[in-house]
Amino acid sequence: MKPYLPYQKGIEKGDFKILARALTLVENDLKPSSDLLKNLHINLTIPVIGITGPPGAGKSTLVNAITSNFVAEGKKVAILAVDPTSPFNFGSLLGDRIRMAQQFNNPDVYIRSIATRGALGGVSAKTLEMIDVLKSSNFDVILVETVGVGQSEVEIAGLADKTIVVLVPESGDEIQNIKSGLMEIAQGFVVNKADREGAEIFANNLKKLVQGQHQDIPVFKTVADKGDGLIELCNWLLATNKTVNERKHLLILEKAYRIIQHQRMLDIDKIKLRNAIDEALLTPDFNVYRFIEKWIKHS
């Protein structure tokens, strides 16, 4: 039997244990992940929803609330929580068990956290490959929550069929980010914690900004921890439209570019590079540009 077949069959059956092992293989480029990816039966009709926004906007709470609504409708949900990568151990700083504890034991919900691995907007080639593994299973919808880091959030545009940007009434400064980048990638905005003072004014200003850009982008108001405004949002998230279909080719192009980029960087051992830098820093005339030139020539 080919080594990848047990993983492929387990993924297609929705076996969470096998799915977890397969995702670990893919995330870490371990055998037989390459063969597994090439033989996946990827269901391109499963919607991928990107959820991004600044820290403190309540993205995780909103993901929990959206998930609860989908599960109540009989849907199976996969969640990828993309966490900041620690510069010290190259791992994930935050844990899915902490942030998604409410859904952790739900048999219709699969949760996985993944480190950004240096991708500023929280999206790496590994994220794209792991989404394809999830698309080969029996989920009805995939949610991807990314770290909020400003304009570099535009990277999420390369993976999601629909992307929502989550803001709160106090996010006045984020309007500048919207003008300078987020408007290009958002199919919808969510003003969360809409029971706070100033929420109505902020939502109205956001709607005016969206209309001023001649974009057909909805603005939703939610109170995620109370479940307010979730039904309208969830219905819209799963509704198909012409814009989403037109994006498919661009999404595949972006995915191919990122995976090719990743493959070409595979021979760069970051741990080895770190050790070489530690040694080079002992020399009094260390110059990072000379170091890089030498590294490229000899690696």
The better pLDDT of the pair 185, 297 is held by 297
State in Å, rounded, how far the first CA of the chain is from the last one.
37
Which amino acid is residue 107, in one-letter code? P
Is the same domain home to 203 and 87? yes
Number of H helices, E strands in the chain: 12, 7
The better pLDDT of the pair 273, 246 is held by 273
What would the pLDDT profile of 33-91 be if each residue is shown by its tens digit?
889 998 999 898 899 999 988 777 888 889 999 999 999 999 999 999 886 544 443 44
The better pLDDT of the pair 93, 14 is held by 14
Q: Looking at the predicted structure, is the pLDDT value of residue 272 above 80?
A: yes
Is the same domain home to 103 and 3? no
Distance in angstroms (rounded) separating the CA atoms of residues 253 and 223: 36
Is the same domain home to 88 and 204? yes
The better pLDDT of the pair 157, 14 is held by 14
pTM: 0.80
pLDDT confidence bin for 214, thresholds 50/70/90: low
List, as one string, the DSSP characters of 196-262: STTHHHHHHHHHHHHHHTT----EEE-BGGGTBTHHHHHHHHH---HHHHHHHHHHHHHHHHHHHHH
> What is the pLDDT, as a whole number, of residue 90?
42
Is the same domain home to 48 and 19? no
Distances (CA, A) of 90 to 27, 53, 106, 269: 13, 23, 29, 12
Is the same domain home to 9 and 53? no
* Residue 33, domain extent: 1-41
Q: How many domains does the chain have?
A: 3
pLDDT confidence bin for 172, thresholds 50/70/90: low
Is the same domain home to 56 and 17? no
CATH of the domain at 215: 3.40.50.300
Is the same domain home to 134 and 243? yes
What would the pLDDT profile of 249-265 be if each residue is shown by its tens digit?
666 777 777 778 777 77
Min mean pLDDT across 171-180, 235-244, 258-267 is at 171-180
> What is the pLDDT, as a whole number, of residue 102?
66
Is the same domain home to 5 and 91? no
Q: Give Dmax (Cα) for the chain.
A: 65
Is the same domain home to 24 and 84? no
Is the same domain home to 177 and 288? no
Which distant-in-sequence residues (6+ apart) come within 8 Å of 139 by Cβ? 14, 46, 76, 77, 78, 110
Is the same domain home to 19 and 72? no
What would the pLDDT profile of 112-164 be if each residue is shown by its tens digit?
988 765 444 445 678 888 999 999 999 999 999 886 554 444 555 557 888 88
Is the same domain home to 141 and 232? yes
> What is the pLDDT, as a whole number, of residue 88?
40
